[in-house]
Amino acid sequence: MSVQIKTVDLTPKRQTFAHVARRLGGDKPATRYQEATLDLQATENFHYKPLWEPQFWQYDTRKTAVVMADWYKPLDPRQYYYGSYNIARANMQSAGERNFTFVEERGLLATISDAERARVTSLLLPVRHLHWGSNMNMAEICQRGYGTAVTAPCIFSAGDQLGMAQIVSRIGLALDGQTGACLAAAKQGWMSNPAWQGVRQMIEDTLVQRDWFELFTAQVLGVNEVVLKLVYGALEQAFPESGLALAMLTGFMADWAADETRWSDAVLKTVAAESEANKALISGWAERWIARAVTAAEPLSAALLGDHGAAARAAGDAARGHGRKLGLAL
Amino acid sequence: MTAKKLSLKQRYEFLTRDLDWEPSYQSADDIYPYDKFEGIKIKDWSGWEDPFRLTMDSYWKFQAEKERKLYAVIDAFAQNNGQTGVSDGRYINVLKVFLTGISPEEYQAHRGFAFTGRHLRGAGTRVACQMQSLDELRHVQTQIHTISHYNKYFDGMSEFPIQHDRVFYLSVPKSFFDDARTAGPFEFMVAVGFAFEYVLTNLLFVPFMSGAAYNGDMSTVTFGFSAQSDESRHMTLGIEVIKFLLEQHPDNLPIVQRWVDKWFWRGFRLLGIVAAMMDYMLPKKVMSWKEAWDIYFVEAGGALFQDLARYGLKMPKYADIATEAGEHISHQNWGLFYQLCHVAGFHAWMPDAEHLDWLSAKYPNTFDKYYRPRFEMWAKQEKEGKRFFFNGLPQLCSCCQLPMLYTEPGDPTKTCFRSSVFKGTRYHFCSDGCKDIFDGEPEKYVQSWLPVNQIFQGNCGGATVPEVLDWYKINVGVDNGDYVGSPDEALWNAWTAQRFSEAS
Amino acid sequence: MMTQLASITLMRNDDARPIIDAIMADNPDVCVLNMPGAVKLDCDGRLRVNRASVEERMGRAWSPQEIQLVLVSMAGNLEEDDDQFTLSWHK
């Protein structure tokens, strides 16, 4: 028996949207990332100047001093759109959730000495506030930045920073049987403990930064590369009784840092490579904010590791080396 | 020491607003420079009630689950060529209007909620706004991914971002969201969070998406309802904002009332486009626009404003006019689309006899009296080869930017014209609602990028219609004009013919 | 005064069915409007979803927050805790 398969003619008229095809250099199949990102933000014929900032349009390339001929050049190598981002984070988080169960079931944080608990409270828990400030910065870059290629990953990053602030907060709640006492003490430390004041001052200073690409540089190379790396890299050494458990519970942060850096590196590298002027601006910002971060983190490093700030300075050197690999003059 | 365990609510507070601190190295007014100029008085941000107690871990978990389900449907739809199974080729035109007119506004909402999610001083409020910013990005991206498959076969969708910035009728939704985005953060919250999300979007997503399901568009109904599942958070945020502002200080009431009045009317005008989509573009109908208006505005909105009366907030001004216009607006807008589709990126048509009878039954007070005769006349002219097009450039309302075609309240035979003079120039409006809005902020609305004026000023590619359409990236003879005779129709007919020949 | 309907609209699918059934069992005055793809459930003044009732029908643990996965729309002020999800208007 022969079966004749009749097929309806379903040859597509086009493979993708015209604006995407122009960027791909022809009508060919595009990825979900490309279709959900390219040229999504409005660019012209705006109706009204913002009441809150009438010198600019709501989307305006002049909100940073760096200049790009095309803000869709700094693409996300992870190719995140909303769906793929959330699925990636849900997977990362479910691993973290198992670690929380493991640590809680074995009472790994409940059984530590009062001295260790006090140390974790004063030297780790306040970092949740740094994540919170970082969350505000990434939301700011999302609202103030130009072009979906850069701004969409920023709201993802803002969500990540909030998520990490919440992981640290859960550690705080696990330390004292869910009473909130450790978190309250940690907040006092964030406000007044000399070990944290440099960090707090630095993050407050970023919160008034109006050039969004300078803010991006400060957040990525200063806060993420120096301060967060220092804190999460010091856990096992700084907290002898609980360091291993803490490292497990903050596994999300290590996964996140690797993921985030792939993207933020691509952005910095592409924007700096656009012109000598961009490179000079970003290098200057990087120099300044890495130096700020090192000064801010020295007392924290000393308190965590008893190293007179050596780890903070080493993190600063590493950040400068990192920046140089991205093409910055540091 | 035996301290008490935290309640769920307290725990959530520790995981969100307790992250915030009182800055001392920088002043709070420098960190939040935009939340005072509107005159809203907040005595105590801690009075904010967190509407949905969702932490990021749960957010990722739930949203990832929704996305896995949604993309499974989108993939299956593409693999099975679901586009061949919709009720009729005409149906695709709703997706064209949706992608060019609505999806870009989801994007605007995403950036707007990032703005309020950074710049409102209350930490609980910021967290809720940031989640909404993420959700709105989800909505625009899932809409693009769903409609992407249709774009491969049908015309009129492939240039949606540039058309949103340029095409004359798309300045209606664009100016709406530009208006909200350029307002202060509190007004944005009332405009989008309350007036749009709570009071009006049900009309867009519930009956309309149910219509998509009824017309065989499984991928669109899936994104529509999946987007609506986020709306539960958005609606609770919208209503919480209103309650919070009204509870904080009595001086806020007149400001909030003015915003509610303004954004209700702007939203009503914008949704008139959806009214035409529902009554005319869905080949199979779920309910009429009027029925949807009665359920979702008269009934649900009525219950809401009855509830808010305890704060002194009244029903939006001109709500009665809008309800009366509910008998007319879809017909008037469809007439407009029909007359202007030669310069639009989608197709129009005259309803067939069965459709006309449905409209007569659904609109017993108005359709036979005012609209049926006109539509029958146009259909007759079409048969005689004298298809009627409006060949000038319509005058646009200086507020909502729709052509001035709406009729006087109480007299559907008379076109409504209003005007105001500001700094020696006269501005024209389609209604009292639009005139009031302009008069409230003339400095803002005189800036409007009115497409017709821009064409006259030579800013739209040239002085002739073909030059302007080229600048709009409307592919003449393909994207525009009547459905009958379009490449879309030819394709649809070919598919249908093949299906029948296989069946026989 | 017109009636104030507390209302919830859920997707019509297998995940939502136990929730719809629980609402119909626990809110005797509920009025049901069937639409393609969705179900709208209205109650005068107050509508309650009980965790225990849903769990009984679902045969597993269920958190009221999970309702978000199938929720299409709602009307009323929301109160949610570990045991219930309630929509109501102030009387």
A72-86: per-residue pLDDT in tens? 999 999 999 999 999
What's the gap in Å between the CA of B64 and the closest CA on chain A?
Answer: 5
Cβ count near A5 (within 10 Å):
4
Any A CB within 8 A of B181 CB: yes
Any idea what the Cα angle at residue B390 is, between residues B477 and B426, rounded to 5°? 125
Give me the pLDDT at residue A3, please. 46
In a domain, A192, yes or no: yes
In a domain, A1, yes or no: no
Report all structural domains of chain B as residue ranges with CATH numbers, in order of start: 9-19+32-43+59-503 (1.10.620.20)
Residue written as tokens 């409940």? A110
Give me the pLDDT at residue B473, please. 98
Collapse the DSSP code of B415 into the 3-class scheme (helix H, G, I; strand E, B; otherwise coil) and give the result: strand
Say how far apart CA A161 and CA A157 lie, in whole Å.
6
Q: What are the helix (H) ranges across B299-397? A: 300-308, 319-325, 329-340, 353-362, 372-383
> Which helix (DSSP H) or strand (DSSP E) does residue A318 occupy?
helix A310-325
Give me the pLDDT at residue A5, please. 47
Computed over every residue of chain A, the mean pLDDT equals 96
Among A47, A59, A139, whose Cβ lies nearest the Cβ of B447? A47
Any A CB within 8 A of B3 CB: yes
Interface test with B, best of C34, C39, C72, C88 (most B CBs within 10 A): C72
Question: Quick one: CA dihedral A318, A319, A322, A324, positive or negative?
Answer: negative
Give me the pLDDT at residue B8, please. 77
Is there a contact between B31 and A209 (Cβ–Cβ < 8 Å)? no
ipTM of the complex, rounded to two decimals? 0.96
Say how far apart CA A301 and CA A304 lie, in whole Å.
5
How far is residue C47 from each of residues A60, B87, B232, B276, measured CA to CA in Å? 47, 36, 15, 33
Give me the pLDDT at residue A8, please. 62
The secondary structure of residue A149, as a DSSP letter, is: H
For residue A54, the chain B residue with the least C-alpha distance is B182
Instruction: Quote the percentage of chain A above a pLDDT of 90.
Output: 94
Question: Quick one: CA dihedral A217, A221, A226, A229, positive or negative?
Answer: positive
Say how far apart CA B444 and CA B122 lie, in whole Å.
28
Say how far apart CA A215 and CA A202 lie, in whole Å.
12
Give me the pLDDT at residue B3, please. 54
For residue B26, the chain A residue with the least C-alpha distance is A204
Q: A166–B55: do the CB atoms touch at under 8 Å?
A: yes
The closest of C79, C64, A185, A179 to B7, measured between CA atoms, is: A179
Q: Which two tokens stand for residue B139?
A: 């909505």
Which residue range forms the structural domain that includes residue A278?
A: 77-325
Say how far apart CA A177 and CA A109 lie, in whole Å.
10
Question: Quick one: CA dihedral B79, B84, B86, B92, positive or negative?
Answer: positive
Any A CB within 8 A of B490 CB: no
Q: Which two tokens stand for residue C59?
A: 């045969």
Is there a contact between A28 and A15 (Cβ–Cβ < 8 Å)? yes
Domain count, chain A: 1
Say how far apart CA B237 and CA B117 lie, in whole Å.
12
* Per-residue exposure over C38-72, b if at least 16 CB sit within 10 Å of its own CB, e if not: bbbbbbebbbbbbbebbeeebeeebebbbbbbbbb
In a domain, A102, yes or no: yes
Give me the pLDDT at residue C86, please. 93
Q: Which two tokens stand for residue A198?
A: 């440099």
Which residue range forms the structural domain that includes residue C37?
A: 5-88
The closest of A129, A151, A3 to A63, measured between CA atoms, is: A151
Q: A179–B133: do the CB atoms touch at under 8 Å?
A: no
Q: Which two tokens stand for residue C69?
A: 């996965």
Which pLDDT band, with edges at 50, 70 and 90, does A6 fall under? low
**In degrees rounded to 5, what are phi and psi of residue B284?**
-110, 135
Q: Which two tokens stand for residue B164?
A: 């949103």
Residues of A in contact with B5 (CB under 8 A): 177-179
Judged against a pLDDT cut of 60, whether residue C62 lies above it is answered with yes
Give me the pLDDT at residue C2, please. 64
Give mean pLDDT in consecutive 10-residue pieces for chain B, a chain of 504 residues.
68 94 98 97 92 89 95 94 94 96 97 98 95 97 97 98 97 98 98 88 83 89 86 89 96 98 96 94 94 92 93 96 96 97 96 97 97 97 94 93 95 96 98 98 97 95 94 97 96 89 62
Q: What are the helix (H) ranges across B363-447? A: 372-383, 432-440, 442-445
Q: C5–B205: do the CB atoms touch at under 8 Å?
A: no
What's the gap in Å between the CA of C57 and the closest CA on chain B?
Answer: 21
pTM: predicted TM-score of the whole model, two decimal places: 0.96
Give me the pLDDT at residue B7, please. 79
In a domain, A11, yes or no: no
Cβ count near B463 (within 10 Å):
10
Say how far apart CA A231 and CA A221 lie, in whole Å.
15
Collapse the DSSP code of B16 into the 3-class scheme (helix H, G, I; strand E, B; otherwise coil) and give the result: coil
For residue B399, the chain A residue with the least C-alpha distance is A47
The secondary structure of residue B431, as a DSSP letter, is: S
Collapse the DSSP code of B326 into the 3-class scheme (helix H, G, I; strand E, B; otherwise coil) and give the result: coil
* pLDDT, average across residues C48-54: 95
CATH assignment of the domain containing C36: 3.90.56.10
Judged against a pLDDT cut of 90, whether residue A49 lies above it is answered with yes
> Is beta strand B411-415 parallel, antiparallel or unpaired with respect to C46-50?
unpaired
Give me the pLDDT at residue B398, please. 97
Is there a contact between A217 and A64 (Cβ–Cβ < 8 Å)? no
Bridge partners for C41 per DSSP: C8, C32
Give me the pLDDT at residue B2, please. 45
Residue written as tokens 């941000």? B45
* pLDDT, average across residues A200-204: 98
Interface test with C, best of B62, B225, B236, B237 (most C CBs within 10 A): B225
The closest of B92, B89, B110, B227 to B157, measured between CA atoms, is: B92
The closest of B140, B285, B272 to B212, measured between CA atoms, is: B285
Chains A and C touch (3+ CB pairs under 8 A): no
Residue written as tokens 């064409």? B455
Give me the pLDDT at residue B164, please. 97
Say how far apart CA B399 and CA B25 lie, in whole Å.
44
Say how far apart CA A81 and CA B141 lie, in whole Å.
7
Q: Which two tokens stand for residue A328?
A: 């910055």
Judged against a pLDDT cut of 50, whether residue A13 lies above it is answered with yes
Which pLDDT band, with edges at 50, 70 and 90, does C79 fall under? confident
Say how far apart CA C85 and CA C67 lie, in whole Å.
9
Collapse the DSSP code of B41 into the 3-class scheme (helix H, G, I; strand E, B; otherwise coil) and give the result: coil
Judged against a pLDDT cut of 50, whether residue A4 lies above it is answered with no
Judged against a pLDDT cut of 60, whether residue A162 lies above it is answered with yes
Is there a contact between A241 and A113 (Cβ–Cβ < 8 Å)? yes
CATH assignment of the domain containing A132: 1.10.620.20
Interface test with A, best of B68, B138, B145, B182 (most A CBs within 10 A): B182
Domain count, chain C: 1
Give me the pLDDT at residue B503, please. 58
Higher-scoring residue by pLDDT: C3, B242: B242
